[in-house]
Amino acid sequence: MSFDADLTACAAMVERADPWRFRAAMAAPLETRKLLFPLYAFNVEVARAPWVTQETMIAEMRLQWWRDALEEIAEGKPVRRHEVTTPLARAITPDDARLLDELVAARRWDIYKDPFEDEAHFERYIDQTAGHLMWVAARRLGAEDETTVRNAAYATGIAAWLCAIPTLEEAGRVPLLDGTSKAVSTLAQGALARLRAARANRGNIPSEAQAALLPAAHAGPVLKAAIAHPGKVSEAALPDPRRHFALRALVSRW
């Protein structure tokens, strides 16, 4: 698979919309980027689909388009031509496509303004979005320790979620079951514990797959700030982790 116009378009899309994952991909070898960029571009497209319209039916149709494309990949059918689906179909397996379909289905929550049903629903959302994305990338690169990958993904997802809370609240969403300072701190503590557990088992992840977990490099400072100053979450005052991320990315560490 060459680094063609589609892959270049995917990279540009990720650079604009998901700078954390873009930096992670750029820290990876060239061949690894050929997997990461279409996968991350897919995630960008799906994540923004519920937000580009106020019409819930149109948003549902946009997500369904991606589910239909994933079904084509899962069933080995010709995949609709698109700058993301075309390279994605070359990069993932049918089993990956079925897992990513769950990611798209989870994003239906973003369309509506209902709160999460309970804690299990919230954790399932994080696992099916951040978790499925990182696990597909990691296992395509040779990882077998799913628990370690999903621990890193959970911390990554919670850190990103905490940073997004002001935007979500402004849009009329209810991002947390309990938005009190104590609850925010507890949530961040749990995520930080899982990040530390993942780092303790870093050796279980082959070197070729480490790039898939590199987005977790930004999570630590965000989570620590949320634990120490949970009020900053609603004030959009969590630290910008980009410098920290850049330093870790130079040595491909998360």
Question: For residue 6, what are the CA distances in angstroms to 1, 10, 30, 70, 125?
Answer: 11, 6, 15, 17, 29
> Do 82 and 69 form a contact (C-beta atoms < 8 A)?
yes
Going 168 to 169 to 170 to 173, the CA torsion angle's sign is positive
Can you give the three-state secondary structure of 141-187, one letter per residue? CCCCCHHHHHHHHHHHHHHHHHHHHHHHHHCCCCCCCCCCHHHHHHH
pLDDT range class, residue 237, cuts 50, 70, 90 = low
Residues 180-197, mean pLDDT to the nearest whole number: 97
Please give the model's pTM, rounded to 2 decimal places: 0.93
Residues 32-44, mean pLDDT to the nearest whole number: 98
Longest dimension (CA), the chain: 51
Q: What angle do CA 28, 39, 101 make, to 5 degrees?
A: 150
Rounded to the nearest angstrom, the gap between the alpha carbon of residue 223 and the centroid of all alpha carbons in its chain is 16
**Does position 252 have pLDDT exceeding 60, yes or no?**
no
Q: What is the pLDDT of residues 100-148, one digit of tens each?
A: 999 999 999 999 999 999 999 999 999 999 999 999 999 999 999 999 9
DSSP string, 61-101: HHHHHHHHHHHHHHTTPPPPP-TTHHHHHHHS-HHHHHHHH
**Does position 27 have pLDDT exceeding 80, yes or no?**
yes
